[in-house]
Each structure stands twice: as structure tokens, then as C-alpha cells.
Structure 1
């Protein structure tokens, strides 16, 4: 898909300028070497609105255009600066940003009045709304957080598909009413993401573990190795514990006991946060009997992996071939478990929306983040070296958040629809590609129309 080129001026200008040539659109200002938006390097100028012929939009139109575009940049900035949320949570934030933008555009178009000699009918308004919302969705999925782009893109595609169905069902109504119903459909999808939770994944995980590891009438402690802070894993484990508590009765010896081993997950120590949350929630729900937690440094992974039954990995992205991108440390965890515990089963626990369109692992750049997150844990002497010339010439501190685990190391993919194989992943990947082409394929033409 060809790259889009957009133009957008900050709010300090009276009006957005809509007719600039492509060379001007793509040139980076000399006073902003990292890009036109503060704190957002490599983000090109973006506009989600089409040009207004040879003239300028009215002040009222310019105001809501600017508001919508500011919400877009604000949403992209939020996705890029969030280094604690998992892919599922970021995808939900991306949808929330798009819904806010869609509502602003709807409100602006509802108040629009035709210019002298012009007539804007309801059909035109619906098309203007749809063009702008699609371009906003494309920009969020493309520039929001590339390392977690699969989940974000599929969530955006899903919410756009949701409103399209609502639009088809209400196509006979007036334009403003039609737009309102489409926005309501988007808001409904967002509520379902927030309120629906991931209990089905937890139910599926519990059933898988029971079928594979629990013999009839025998109590057994299942050892699980994991890392980082995946909202999917966190919710699935809590769902399992709640289901176990609800199903246990006096004299029932077939009880699922979990020995959870968590890698600390430097540099932000998300693993420690996962342990804190699970301990607090398990205590609050009276599930402490079924869960014991060990927490250790990432360097202790071989010790944590001893006798592991399961390596439970989240997934920020699943390639069309079944490779998974997850928190750095995932591949060492898998390799250690396969080496020191020959019974270990590797499970990628994920929403199906994490599956990306077809592509290879090496097509995605590594997300190298602020090295200060690592340096903060060093001794004062080591930190003092950073400013020295010799250090700067010889040493590069890397803080790579995500790494790939090849598909041949993954035994099972478990999502809300059940246990998947690589062929299932490929089919979902093709659907993502087709949906992206259907919804975003002509966005560049719309921008320059």
C-alpha cells in the first residue's frame, strides 16, 4: 500500500491550509528535526480532511476540523508513550481515540451550513464523515505503535466494520441520523471491548490445563512460567482461579493448583507488577489457596524453568506464519524451558486480533526505547561513565522491548475461539489483509481528491 502524505498545521494558526503540494507535505521543517509534532519523531504531517476547493473553510468548520485533528495526534501520542499497557489495552485505547474523533466530526457536520451557491446534502455529509473517519483509523493503525500494530489495526478494522453494518441497516434514514447511528455502533463496540473482558480465554485455558495435566480424581499443582504484564494472561489466570473456587466442593480432590513463576521483566519490572496484581486480586476473591507465586530476576530464568509444565506467553503480534512478538525475555524463557524441562508446553495466549496480515518477522523494526530505563538501576559510578567521551565512542546501551519467538517453538495458540493451529493463524492473517484492503485501499486517493 502506498504511503499517504498529509498536511496539518497546529492550532496556533488561524486555519488549516488544505492545498499544499506533495513536496511541501513531505518536507520536515528545519526547526523541527524530529517531525512536526512535539515528542512524536518520524510522524509525518497528517490531515484527515479533504481540501475545500480553492477557498478556506469557514471559521466554524476550521474549528472542529482542528479539534478532530488534535484528538488524532493526542491519540497517537498516548499510544506511543504508553510503555506499560499490553497490546489488547493499547488497541482499546486506539478504538477509544477513533470513537472520539468520529463523534467530533459527526457533531461538526450536524452544525454545518451550506455556503452561498452550494448545497451540502445528507449523503454528502455521510461521505465526508466516512472519508475522514477512515483516514483517522488508517493513521492510528499505521503510526500509533508499530510494534503492537497488529492488535491496533484489527481493532480499528473491527470497529469500522461494525459501523458499516449499522450504516447499511439504517441507510434509508436522513444523513445526520445515519451518521449518529454509525457512531453509536462504534461506541457499542468500544463498550463491549471494555466490559466484555476476556473470560472466555480464561475458561479455555482452564479446560486445556485440566484436560492435559489433571488425571481423574488427582490433585496436582501445575507449574507455569511467564513474564511481563499481559492483560490477557492476568485476566485468564484470575478467571481460572474464580472458576476453580466456584466448582470446588468438600471432598473434591481434582483441584487445580497453580505454581506461577514470573520473570521480573526488566527494565520496568512488569513481572513484579503482575505478581502484585494477582496476589491482591486473589486475596480479594478468596482464591489464595489455589495460587502460589515465585518472582525472580530475568537472569534466573533457567532456575524458574525447572519442572515447568507450561510456558505461558502473551503476544503483542502474531505473524501470518505463527511467529509471536512478545516482551524481550520470551525466547530465553522458551529455550530454557525446552532444555531443562522436557515436558514443557509453550502456549501463546492471545486475542485473535493480535494476528497480523501476512509478512515475515524480519520486516518489523525492533522498538529500541529510552536507555535511561536501564541506566537508572546502575551504580553511581557506572552512571557517571555515560557522559565520558570514551563511553560514548565505544558503548551503546540498548533497551529493546520486544523480540520474536519462531512458530516452531510454539506448541499451541489459545484464544477466545479455542485452541488454534498454524493453518488457523494463516486464515485469520488473510482476513486481516483483505479487510485492510477493503477499508483502507483507496484512502490516498481520497486524500488527494
Structure 2
């Protein structure tokens, strides 16, 4: 699989290099040189396969497009080890369902991309590493937990996770800030966008790159997007064939990796009529789709904190895909929902369809409910278990949510994070200190 840097088309790498580097030069995102496409017969064959087999075929189509970088049976093994949990499609009404992607070990859709990334990285990375291998990750909530649990205990890989202080839920924090060992977590005095910019700056730091092999498990890593393509196929496989050409999918959107994966699935030939890009009041993309102007505002903290992103990293990939496919942005539906409406929607979902949701999924549900047309069938992408937002959901719905065992086991453990000012010099020193600590062992 050949990929190019969308900021420098002359910089091309294979899949192994792209997954290990994460970003290209000048913080450029990698994007496939070839965009494979299945015909209708091939799509039907794929949809008749089981989830593991289908996913392996989709991934192999991308990864082994030009030459066999990873043998098919090894891809199957990686998929089996990563996708070990169910993906139920819960029917809500005659024309709407929710694809629940939160039945993995950290109760978030992020488990798909990050667990597969860990499996593939371990399969292709050369060991022992010539330089210390560090994964730097910024999280607005769920990514941190998925990264920490996917790589926990792998001594050859150091994980450093940054997150905005006091801007994620307590249970989200407990999920990844209580592990220790090879997992270090930094509570940053600032918004998620600042955490993200600190990580990007480290990728451009020559001294850090000289001392370490650095990577990112954020959705900027191409392996995560390829993994997420797989569950869009699973969503279509679970609905009756007669509905497949009427499908509208509403995607909770923060950093826009989830929607990017859905659009790549559509590019492969998956029959999706249209997508809805669903955001909270951090609505840079909806405003852009409305008036064509890219004008990020300062990030606002909301109930749907994982979507508190004003400058989404993956949007350049979406622009690149639309340009390559000659698609019009007028085909991409959109909308934004404020906190008051989110609260009402959570209450209405429980009262009207007897479904307990959480803020991110509720936003996508609200926009789908408001925009679905007669004859269409809608799927909401359910991104997180409501227990991860226990305090918010219980307060709004006046009900008690029983914590799943995964959360119960971590809820009473101490937070191991270090507080950090939003200063690159401080962050840089923390990274460089790891080299000193490692040499001292």
C-alpha cells in the first residue's frame, strides 16, 4: 500500500512506514495513492461474510494493493485478536437503529481502531527497536483509554497521553490514568486542541525524532481509519438488503476520524445514501459546509466533551477524498446541537424509545431524527457506553446506571497523572527524560 503526504505529494511511503510514523513531514497526513473500489457483486459477497473474514478482506485490499506487505492470514490473526467483542444493531423504530460500538474493553468505538493498530504494529515493527519507541497521543476522552489498554504492558513501547484537565468525565479519566507501567498520562491546563498541537509539535522536533521512534495513536494514524471502515460494512450487513440503498448514517463528530472512515467505506462502494456530520456547538465544519469559510472559534466545553474540537485533524483527509472522487460537499449533511437540546434529547430517547444514551450519541440521534426523509432508513453511530458519563446521564434522566465491570474495577483506583502547563518546553523535557530513565535502567 502506497500512501502520500497530503502536504507534500512527493513524499510517499508504504503502509508499514505510515503506521509507524503516524505523520509525514510538516505534520502532513498520509492518504492512499490508490482508492480501491468493489463492484456491486463484490459488495454483496462481502456483506454475506462474517465480520472477521469480511474485515480481513477489506484491510487486505488496502494494505496489499500494490504488493503483499502483510500476508492475508496474518491480517486475519490481527483482526481476530483486535475485534473480540460484539457490534449489535439495536432497532429503535420502523426507520431507525443505533449501531452500538461500545462493547469493547474501554466501552468506546475507539477500541476498534486502536486495538487493530496495536496488533498490526506489533506484527510489522522490527524488534528490538534501534531507538526507544514512543506513542504520543492527545485525547478528549475515549482515545486515551483505548490506547492505554491496547498497549498496556508492552514494555518495548512507551505511551504518553495528554488530555485537557477537568474537561473529561471522572470515569473517562479513571479508565486510562490508573494503569502505570508503560503508560504515562499528563493532565494539561488547556483545551483538547492545545493537547493536540503539543503532540504535533513533538513530531516536528528534530532532536526528539533523532532520539526516538515516535508515533501517534490518534485518528491521524491511517491504521485506525482502515479499522473503522470495517464496522460500517457490518452496519449495512445487519439491515435487510431492501433498505441498503436508502441508508442515512449520522456520525458524532469531533476530530472527524469516524466520519472519514465512513466516507472511505462509501468510496469502496458500500451503498450509503448520505452521511450526517453531527457536532456540538464546536461547529467549525457545519459552518464551513454552510458558507464555505473555514473559521474555527475558541473551543467551548460541553456535555459531549469528546467532540469539543474546533480544528479537527482529519478534515484535510475528507477534503482530499472529496477532491479525488470529485464529490460535492453539498451531498454531506450536517448539523450542530447545543447542551440544552442534548439534555432534552437524552430525556426524549428514554421516554419515547426506551433507550438510555449518552451525550455524543444523542446529538447524532437528534440530527438524524430531524433530517431523515420519508422512505429513508437511518443508523446512528453509538460511540460510548452511557456509564462513561454516569453523573451527567443520571442527573438528566433521574435514574441509576449500573457500572459495567470494566468501570467498577477502576473507579476506586488513584489517578496517576501529572499536571502540566500548556507549554511545549515542559512537554519536550518530559519526553527527553524518558531517554535518560531508559538508559539508567
Q: Please give the range of the TM-score, normalised by the shorter of the 2 chains.
A: 0.3 to 0.5
Please state which structure has a larger fraction of its residues in helix.
1
**Which one has the bigger strand percentage?**
2
| TM-score normalised by L of structure 2 | 0.33
Higher relative contact order (CA 8 A, sep 6+): 2
